[in-house]
Each structure stands twice: as C-alpha cells, then as structure tokens.
Amino acid sequence: MEILSKYLELTVSDGTVMRAYGARPKDPGTSVGLIIGQEAFGVNAHIRDVTERFARKGFIALAPEFFHRTAPGFEGRYDDFQSVLPHMKAMTEAGNEADLRAAYDWLLANHGATLPVASVGFCMGGRLAFLGALTLPLKCAVSFYGGGIAPGASGPGLVARAKELHGPMLFCWGGLDKHITPEHSRAVADGMRAAGKPFVNVDFSDADHGFFCDARPTYSPAAAAEAWPLTLAFLASHTGASLPPKV
C-alpha cells in the first residue's frame, strides 16, 4: 500500500507546539486513527518505521514527540540511557495527557469527527498508551512492555485507575525482562480483572525488554513476528479497521 508521511506541528493546550511524525495511506478510504507512543529514545528511525508500517496496513498513524518541552527532535542512542533520563524526569502527567489530547484532537480535526482512534505504545510509550485509554475515548490500546503501569519503585502506577479505561487493552510482555518483571505484569492483570475491564495479556517467555525493536540488541525476530499480527487483529477487532488480506 502506498503511503504518505511527513512531520506535523500540533498545538497543545498549554501553549506549547509539539512535532509529530505522521503517516497514512495515500488513498485512506475507511480509516482508523492510531496514536503511537514512542520509546524513551524519541521518535527515532525505529518509531518512524513502525508508524509507516501501520500506515501501510491502512491506519492514519501519528507519533507525537513527548519530549518536545525539553528536547524537540530528540533521538537518543540505545546504548546511552543516561541521556534520556533528564527528559523522562521532566515529563508530567498533566503534560502527557495534554499531548495525547492534542494528537487525538488533530486526528479528528483532520480526518473526521467520527474517526475511530486507538493507541499503540512501546516501553515508555506503553504506559502512554494506557494513559491515553484512561483519558481519551479510544476504542482500544496496545501496550508493549509498558513500564509504570504497575506499582513499583517509580510510583503507584496507573493500574489502580483501570476502571476509567474507555476500551480493551492488549499487553505484550517479555518473559526475560529484568525491568518489568512477572510480578509487574501479574499486578497489571490482577488490576484489570478487579476493574472488570476486558484485556489480553501475552507473555513472550523467551523475549526480553524491547523485543519488538529491530534496532536494539534485545530484538527477538520470533516474538516480534508473533506480536505484529496479534496487534493488528486486536486493533481490527475493536476499531472496525479493514486490514489488507495478509497481516
């Protein structure tokens, strides 16, 4: 499927301007909007590639730069997490919610007020996808190894607010992940059950944190190949997206 892609500028309610990378089919037809939650390393080549991959499956995909207040255009190296930390620490829940709202509003303003919208996020973006589903009327959301959803050393997490979710969740975890442990993923599942919210919880037992990213040393081709069609099927099921025959 032929796609169009470009950088966009979105106005956020706090008066800031946020750049986002957008990709969509050249001939969208009946479409679904998709907010892509970046890893902590920015809207880098990998996140842009993922955004384009979703566009080739028929989605109007938008990857906002959530570090726009401290480092517009930031692209960190996977071997230099220390450079990422100041920007992560500067993020606020209010700022994240405003950024998600700006992305959601842009999709509806430019592609129709009835456009169904979902979210997919990776690592830090996995938490943002969950936050988006809490605060926006998303049809569903997908979180890949999202840190900070379960309670932990960094805070109380978000799962205690699961009753506020607007749609079903798909969680993809790496069984070898030392950052987000089985205890964390179980806490998320328990919280979802306690809230009575629909979800799918998938543990790729031989995959590590970041297994979907082919630019990271923890990339798992097998787990990524299995997670991709599952993600597409989940999105199609809950948004009404009409996917190409081969997913």
Q: Give one DSSP letter per residue of 172-206, joined into a string.
A: EEETT-SSS-HHHHHHHHHHHHHHT--EEEEEETT
Q: Which of 51, 60, 49 is nearest to 26 (CA)?
A: 60
Q: Is 206 a catalytic residue?
A: no
Contact in structure between 48 and 63 (CB atoms under 8 Å): yes
End-to-end Cα separation, the chain, in angstroms: 12
pLDDT at 228 over 90: yes
pLDDT class for 132, splitting at 50, 70, 90? very high
Q: Which domains does the chain have, with CATH numbers?
A: 3-239 (3.40.50.1820)
pLDDT at 155 over 90: no
Strand-pairing partners, residue 3, are: 25
Q: Is 213 a catalytic residue?
A: no
Mean pLDDT of the chain: 95
From the candidates 46, 99, 123, 172, give the one annotated as an active-site residue. Answer: 123
Cα separation of 65 and 181, whole Å?
Answer: 27
**What per-residue confidence (pLDDT) applies to 30?**
66
pLDDT class for 115, splitting at 50, 70, 90? very high
Mean pLDDT of 16-42: 93
Q: Is 123 a catalytic residue?
A: yes
pTM of the model: 0.96
> For residue 75, what is the DSSP state?
B
pLDDT class for 247, splitting at 50, 70, 90? very low
